Amino acid sequence: MHILFDILFRGAKIVDGSGAPWYRGDVGVSNGRIAAVGKLSKESANQVIDVCDRVLCPGFIDVHTHSDFIVFRDPVMLSKLRQGVTTQMVGQCGQSAAPVNEKYAELLESYLGFIMAGTKISWNWKTFDDWLKEVEKLPLAVNMATCLGHGTLRAAVMGFEDREASPQEMEQMKGHLREAMEAGSFGLTSGLIYPPGVYAPKEEMWSLAEVLGETGGLYLTHMRGESGGLLEAVAETIELGRRAGIPVQISHHKALGKDNWGLVTQSLQMVDKARAEGIDVTIDQYPYNNCSTSVRACLPPWAQAGGVHAVCERLADPGTRAKIAEEIKVSLDTSKPCGWESMLRHGGGAAGALVVYCPNTPQWEGKNLQEISAAMNVDPVEAAFRIIESNKGSDLACYAAIGDEDIKTILGHSATMVGADSIPPAEGAKAHPRSFGTHSRIIAKYVREEKTLTLESAVHKMSGMPAARFGLQRKGLIREGMDADILVFDPEKVQDNATYENPTLLASGIDYVFVKGVKTLDGESFTGSAAGEVIRKGR
């Protein structure tokens, strides 16, 4: 008998990634690609998988991860595979692993500390291409696509200085960006609340966006404001898209702080209006009501300037320490407006600030600042200071700052796709549950329980839509000729299990994950096959 396919998936409900309604069919795979879709049950294959009327859909593309460094310690990333993620996009929020300027190496390492998760890094690269070559040596199970981070880029040229770039420095930054785009980056990301991104005026971003226009890249931004300044920040993002004529994406869209909940209705109207005018704006989002950033992020911006070392120097001066504490305490009065991103205010006070990672004081991991301050017998702000001082840049917290209704409003919007914004936990440490749960939670909570989305729409936002957005030409659809990144599951059984208390519990319910036609997850177990690859744009 003539063998037609390597693998034949028989009797599936095909959710094809386009958003179209499911249909019944079979899928034949040969040489890592989808060879045929349709009525194929009489055809032969080396391996036949009876899907038994479960769902077959494209592997999920996680458009927003901070897995840049964790892959050196954990190239398999079962945390992603168990959610059905077969491709992850790194380099987000302004942070990427390259380019590296040795002169500022120490500052860079503390800047990137909170996504490094204790991974020992050799730093044997300088350019973006050098770094990609190092990642290409790893036995990746999940495909990786990359962006260049503006913070890393700026730090490589001018360190962490709080000033405008000179014309020569601008040219150097543009040169690094061009190099990254030629190496296969998909675009530039920014983190405009974190030093050094916060020091960049919008004109700097406009200037860099010109290079994206020349090279076909996207601009993705952790915007300057996600609370009271949200709408101005959305306007700034749209304005950049208009000026440069490039696609832009609002990262992890949300409104932080109860007094700002509901603003997303207006921000989405701005997106709709811009899109109607021909400006290509899209959104990514994670489905949780806690945001996650450093403990340090609860300090006023001026107190965070200059990196962790400078923060600790300020805290070492009793007068400055008292001044910082006073500003934070004033910001907690929600009857008055607050001129800066006070994370403690947004989280509704100390009880809404959960410390998840602080390796030098592990006794505080998994406790909120109210609990910690009671145990330390000091006030919560002082407790935060002590954690910051003890952990030298490795301090991560979750803040309960996002409205449940806002999550649904954003998720339901046609321009929104799903991105976990996953920050990997250090070994044995806690993190935000989104790292282990996002894509499964979309199906479990927002398709099955809340009915915010149909399954077809949810799958589209996690496969076909991101593939189209980033130009991942062979990903995201169940169509002949596409890479055979394929999932099989019963949508009634898909479940995120990670919680704030147990954030590293793996998701469950995805029965098979295939990456380029290679069975990678079988009955929730990793098969040992690592077929993932680094995807370079345009290759």
Q: Which residues would be at the binding site for Zn ion (CB under 5 A)?
A: 93, 222
Q: Which is nearer to Zn ion, 222 or 314 (CB)?
A: 222
- Residue 222 CB, shortest distance to Zn ion, in Å, is 3
Q: Which is nearer to Zn ion, 291 or 518 (CB)?
A: 291
Q: Which is nearer to Zn ion, 81 or 93 (CB)?
A: 93
Residue spans of alpha helices (H) in 356-433: 369-376, 380-391, 404-411
Q: Which is nearer to Zn ion, 64 or 516 (CB)?
A: 64
Instruction: Give the DSSP per-residue string, 237-269.
Output: HHHHHHHHT--EEETT---BSGGGTTHHHHHHH
- Closest of 123, 61, 137, 158 to residue 420, by C-alpha: 61
- Residue 226 CB, shortest distance to Zn ion, in Å, is 9
Q: Which is nearer to Zn ion, 94 or 476 (CB)?
A: 94
Q: Which is nearer to Zn ion, 93 or 140 (CB)?
A: 93
Q: For the sheet with 534-535, list strands across it.
A: 60-62, 85-90, 143-146, 534-535
Spatial distance between the Cα atoms of 32 and 484, rounded to a whole number of angstroms: 5
Per DSSP bridges, beta strands 218-222 and 248-250 are parallel
- Residue 433 CB, shortest distance to Zn ion, in Å, is 17
Spatial distance between the Cα atoms of 448 and 441, rounded to a whole number of angstroms: 10
Is the separation of the CB atoms in 59 and 520 below 8 Å?
A: no
Q: Which is nearer to Zn ion, 57 or 193 (CB)?
A: 193
Q: Which is nearer to Zn ion, 93 or 211 (CB)?
A: 93
The two structure tokens encoding residue 334: 């929600």
Spatial distance between the Cα atoms of 119 and 113, rounded to a whole number of angstroms: 9
* DSSP E strand boundaries for 203-348: 218-222, 248-250, 281-285, 291-294
Q: Which is nearer to Zn ion, 253 or 345 (CB)?
A: 253
Query: 303: part of which helix (H) or strand (E)?
Result: helix 301-304
Those residues with Cβ within 8 angstroms of residue 295's Cβ, 6 or more apart along the chain or in another chain: 353, 355, 358, 384, 387, 388, 391, 395, 396, 397
Is the separation of the CB atoms in 11 and 26 below 8 Å?
A: yes
- Closest of 460, 393, 503 to residue 22, by C-alpha: 460
Those residues with Cβ within 8 angstroms of residue 197's Cβ, 6 or more apart along the chain or in another chain: 94, 150, 151, 154, 190, 191, 222
Q: Which is nearer to Zn ion, 197 or 476 (CB)?
A: 197
Q: Which is nearer to Zn ion, 93 or 387 (CB)?
A: 93
- Residue 264 CB, shortest distance to Zn ion, in Å, is 16
- Residue 332 CB, shortest distance to Zn ion, in Å, is 23
- Residue 186 CB, shortest distance to Zn ion, in Å, is 17
- Residue 250 CB, shortest distance to Zn ion, in Å, is 11
Q: Which is nearer to Zn ion, 220 or 535 (CB)?
A: 220
In the chain, % helix, strand, coil (3-state, to 5) comes to 40, 20, 40
Longest dimension (CA), the chain: 84
- Residue 171 CB, shortest distance to Zn ion, in Å, is 27
- Residue 192 CB, shortest distance to Zn ion, in Å, is 10
- Residue 251 CB, shortest distance to Zn ion, in Å, is 5
First-last CA distance in the chain = 37
Give the Å distances, CA to CA, from 277 to 28, 220, 242, 249, 505: 42, 20, 9, 16, 44
Residue 271: exposure state from Cβ atoms within 10 A (0-12, 13-18, ≥19): buried
- Residue 256 CB, shortest distance to Zn ion, in Å, is 12
Residue 530: exposure state from Cβ atoms within 10 A (0-12, 13-18, ≥19): middle
Spatial distance between the Cα atoms of 473 and 87, rounded to a whole number of angstroms: 13
- Residue 194 CB, shortest distance to Zn ion, in Å, is 8
Is the separation of the CB atoms in 217 and 205 below 8 Å?
A: no
The two structure tokens encoding residue 394: 């490795």
- Residue 359 CB, shortest distance to Zn ion, in Å, is 22
Q: Which is nearer to Zn ion, 222 or 461 (CB)?
A: 222
- Residue 78 CB, shortest distance to Zn ion, in Å, is 24
Residue 450 is which amino acid?
Answer: E
Q: Which is nearer to Zn ion, 54 or 222 (CB)?
A: 222
Name the one residue in this structure whose structure tokens are 């996504």.
115
